[in-house]
A and B are shown apart, each in its own frame.
Chain A
């Protein structure tokens, strides 16, 4: 029987566990990436996490996919922290200087972004340096002021990262619980099989005694 699980992915409920895991993979991982992100990198992260599991069940695969997504979000939010700082620095620079009005803001913020990345062209570098002189600030002063200005939003991003860590912890507990449960069941099966074989040996011995 085939089910349309999500995004047109079909899962055959009668297939073996490994195949189910593979079919389920695109369902809950569903890589919704930003335009500048690499899907191959996302999938390789997922595969490396899955390779650490010994014969993963479909549920374990689903949980690991979510874990991988959380790690991906942590990466995004970490980049955002730096972007917030740059945004705040650009705002301060345009406010401190004489070009708060007009289209100076966006041009200055683009120039500052390139300047901080080390990829600024000559005119962009000149614009930023001129704005710094105009505002009577050094780059480190501006960074410190920018951090103070953006503290509220940086705290929000820290909260988002913390939430992802908490989610990862919950997912790890769940994966451990599935793993422990399956091991416990396997051990009980083995013990039961051992008891049964012992019982059958005993039965055979008593039959031998009676016959002799």
Chain B
């Protein structure tokens, strides 16, 4: 990230005009932009070697074949959730230090300079300053790295709840 405020704001201003990727590879890559943890996709445990090994191990404990399959899938599902939990916890969203610390009032001359070639109105300048100020507020509201990782990990609570409930039910009914 460049430290020159003028260059940084110019880059962000130009990025706003972007219409997105055009190539197939670019579109494929950007289609994964909103992917967070992958826990909403249906897992295919049955074809994995871990699943078969677990089923055989649990089969020695007086569980029915159906219960063994259910328990093995439950165990693998819990493991998957806890792995995603760990990954989310250890890689928090990076802090945009420039946006967080920028003085937006002092940046007004830069905004007017950026807008001047397009013959813009004062209204455009106000809108642009307001847009960057709202981005800055959002960035500041997210807090530091610990706040970010707590907020992101908090989103995985429901997956953990569903996973452990499934496993516990399978073991107790087996």
Contacts and interface: CB of A to CB of B under 8 A. Distances in A.
Interface residues of B, number: 42
Contacts, number: 112
Contacts of B103: 101
Interface of A: 3-6, 11, 13, 17, 20, 24, 27-28, 30, 32, 34, 57-59, 62-63, 66, 69, 73, 76, 80, 83-84, 87-88, 90-91, 100-102, 105, 109, 150, 153, 156-157, 159-160, 163, 166-167, 170-171, 173-174, 177-178, 181-182, 185
B79 A28 contact: yes
B62 A163 contact: no
7 contacts: A3-B50, A57-B60, A59-B171, A87-B147, A91-B143, A156-B150, A170-B168
B47 to A, nearest CB: 14
A20 B67 CA distance: 20
Interface of B: 49-50, 52-54, 56-58, 60-62, 71, 75, 78-79, 82-83, 85-86, 89-90, 101, 103, 143-147, 149-151, 153-154, 157, 160-161, 164-165, 167-168, 171-172
B78 A6 contact: no
B78 A163 contact: no
A83 B149 CA distance: 12
B147 A150 contact: yes
B151 A153 contact: yes
B154 A170 contact: no
